[in-house]
Structure 1
Amino acid sequence: MNTRRKQGGITLLGFVIVAAVVGFFIYIAIKLFPMYSEYYGVKSALKGLAAEPGVGNYEPRRINDLFFRRLYVSYSKNVKQEHVKLTRIDGGWQMDVQYEVRTPLVANLDVVGKFHATQNLIRSGEGN
């Protein structure tokens, strides 16, 4: 009796190729995670600032100080004073944070992330 067993599966070369592709995507995810983590820290700081009672009545200098204190707690290092813009609106302020993060990827290739967040700071403490 001649029984042949068919073997199924992946060859060593196929496994190496799949592992290289998966590894490359994991490497990119590791490089991008800090950028997006910082952006969510900025969004969180804006929401926390908007929840502050009477923040719409504060002076711009005090609002900036409170915002950057919240960013300091979340270890944000890419947002600078020149990236923050306060605009007077009915009932308070509108805070816009627009910044860019450049992270080296491979050799001379960089990943550039452009982030923009807006929050209304209303006198009653309710925000956008």
Structure 2
Amino acid sequence: MRRTQRGITLLGFIIVLAVIGFFAYVGMKLFPMYSEYYSVKSALKGLANESGVAASDPARIQDLFFRRLYISYSENVKPQNVKIRRVDNGWQMDVQYEVRRPLIGNLDVVGKFHATQMLRRGGDGV
């Protein structure tokens, strides 16, 4: 009687472990980038819900935005990445930035992020 092998071989297990490890490593590089992006979106929404922000001047709006980002330790968004322009009933705030993180050797992970928020009178931000 011949017995058949059941389960995974040691080599197969090591290969599966290496693939899982690689994807976990890439995830550890990507998570802070997306966490920062969600902090930017949260700061924009919080700013839109603040009363009287649409009546403020752009310098004040930008200052309030960066104060909110400072709380979440956001380091990739710079003042040159923020554009504020007048629209019908308030302001439109655009935040566009790029994050580059080294991955392996000379390979980098690049994330390009863009968020837009309307700041309308009355604080409804819709």
TM-score range with shorter-chain normalisation? Answer: over 0.9
1:117 aligns with 2:115: yes
Structure 1: stretches of 5+ with no match in the other structure = none
**Under a length normalisation based on structure 1, what TM-score does the superposition of the two structures give?**
0.95
Displaced runs of 4 or more, over 4 A = none
RMSD: 1.0
One-letter amino acid of the structure 2 residue matched with residue 73 of structure 1 = I
Q: Deviations over 1:63-113 (max 9, x none)?
A: 000000000001100000000000101110000000000000001110110
One-letter amino acid of the structure 1 residue matched with residue 32 of structure 2 = P
| DSSP 3-state at the match of 1:126 | coil
**Under a length normalisation based on structure 2, what TM-score does the superposition of the two structures give?**
0.97
Determine the structure 2 residue equivalent to 1:70.
68
Q: What number of residue pairs does the alignment pair up?
A: 126
CA distance in 2, matches of 1:68, 1:111: 25
Rg larger in 1 or in 2?
1
One-letter amino acid of the structure 1 residue matched with residue 39 of structure 2 = G
| DSSP 3-state at the match of 1:100 | strand
Tell me which of 34, 37, 43 is aligned to 2:35: 37
| DSSP 3-state at the match of 2:38 | helix
Give the drift of 1:127: 1.1
